[in-house]
Amino acid sequence: MPDISDHYYLVKTTAIVVGGAGFLGSFLCESLLSLDCQDICIDNFSVNNKENITHLLEKRNFFLLEKNVNEPGFWQKEVLPASIDYVFFLTPETQTINSSGVENLLL
């Protein structure tokens, strides 16, 4: 799988898909890639299946972070693009858990 820092600056639009390995998330990731977007899929696979995205793992603009967004500072060690255009939050957890995940993404 390519490294995010290698070419993120070459792509105009960057999207994060939280829960991107789920049924809907994997289709969204595919659609974003077909639009030439850089797609950062974040999933901890507690519910979703990695098989849903195996065909995307070698795509040039697809990046997988196997992380739990509900853990504060979950992406502090990751090299991410300076600009994120869209965030799609497709996790199946409850509203309280989703709120803490969104808060962690924004911090």
Q: Which helix (H) or strand (E) holds 23?
A: helix 23-34
Per the prediction, the chain carries an average pLDDT of 80
pTM: 0.77
CA–CA distance, 55 with 102 (Å, rounded to integer): 27
CB atoms within 10 A of CB 84: 14
CB atoms within 10 A of CB 85: 13
Q: What pLDDT, in 10s, does the model give residues 44-61?
A: 998 889 999 999 999 999
Q: What pLDDT, in 10s, does the model give residues 79-101?
A: 677 788 898 988 766 545 556 66
The gap between the terminal CA atoms of the chain, to the nearest Å, is 27
